[in-house]
Amino acid sequence: MYKGVLELALMSLLEDGAQYGLKILDSLREGAGLDLAEGTLYPLLHRLEKAGLIAAEWRHEASASHPRKYYGLTPAGTAELKDQSETWLDMTTRLNRFLTRRRP
Amino acid sequence: MSDPTEAWLRTLSHSLRDLPVKTQTDIQAEVRAHLADRREQGFSAEQALKGFGDAAVFARRFRADVTFDEALAQTHWRDLLAGLLSAIGRSVTAAIALVSAGLCALLAVRIAGLFGEKLGLLGAEPLPFVLPDIGFWIYPAYILLLFTLWLAARLSLKLAVTSLRMDPAQ
């Protein structure tokens, strides 16, 4: 389940615009509060890229001393994000209602 | 203390060797960029590497993703062969490990039988090799041998499962 949450949070982040690995890592840690390690993130990016949900390109920015690999959401990724978001929100709403059923 | 980055990257490079060349180059370049960014932020080499964990384990998470489909999508014969050898290698390792675990178990049963016979509990077929006559010490030797065989069988089974597991990160 955690893997699914990571994927969802990652795709949601990339919906705001393309990002490179380190920025994605820090944003997911700080923004989503996910305990994510480099050793988990990069293979996940690789897998999502292979699945066609995200696409990568190397960019050499003037502000950086080296090229960085940027990841952006593909149209297939956008559709997948919409599906997964709806499922997640529906599931958490139901679960929250169930878990708090005895509270006044 | 010396910088561990290059040694870590060498292990990574070695562990990625059966992936398509472009994938290897991409992963290494991305990791190098990440480490360089962290160093520029003031992290030490050890701190920057910490989140990646062991280089061989990190590489295995990518290697596990190399499927026949990916191999077939490659145009270069070397990449096709690398994908195929990776899959065969995993299966052969698992098969050898499984046979080894089975042999350990069989031998353990024979030795346990022999041990039982010494104690007058069981009858047993003689072993295919002769154990030295060491008097009373034969009993602890049997126990040590059985324990070693149990450990070897367990290790072999673990190796078989690990070699077949597609994604150790999951």
Predicted confidence pLDDT, tens digits, chain B (170 residues): 577 899 999 999 999 988 889 999 999 999 999 999 999 999 999 999 999 999 999 998 887 666 555 655 665 677 667 767 777 777 888 888 888 888 888 888 887 777 777 665 555 555 666 666 666 677 788 788 888 988 998 888 888 887 776 544 43
Could you identify the residue written with the tokens 């956008």?
Answer: A78
Please name the member of B34, B57, B65 whose beta carbon is closest to the beta carbon of A47: B65
Which DSSP symbol is given to B130?
P
Which of A42, A43, A26, A36 is CA-nearest to residue A2?
Answer: A36
Distance CA A90, CA B111 (A): 60
Distance CA A3, CA B167 (A): 12
Q: How far is B24 from chain A (nearest CA, A)?
A: 12
The per-residue pLDDT for B159 is 84
* Prediction pTM value: 0.64
Q: Is B4 helix (H, G, I), strand (E, B) or coil?
A: coil
Q: Residues near B141 by Cβ (< 8 Å), separated by ≥ 6? A: B131, B134
Please name the member of B30, B37, B40 whose beta carbon is closest to the beta carbon of A42: B30
E strand map for B83-122: none
Please name the member of B52, B167, B170 whose beta carbon is closest to the beta carbon of A39: B52
Distance CA B92, CA B164 (A): 10
Distance CA A57, CA B103 (A): 51
More confident residue, A14 or B163: A14
Could you tell me the two tokens for A15? 């919906």
Q: To probe the interface with A, which of B5, B34, B165 has the most A CB atoms within 10 Å?
A: B34
pLDDT > 80? residue A48: yes
Complex prediction ipTM: 0.88
Q: How far is B27 from chain A (nearest CA, A)?
A: 8
Q: How far is B30 from chain A (nearest CA, A)?
A: 6
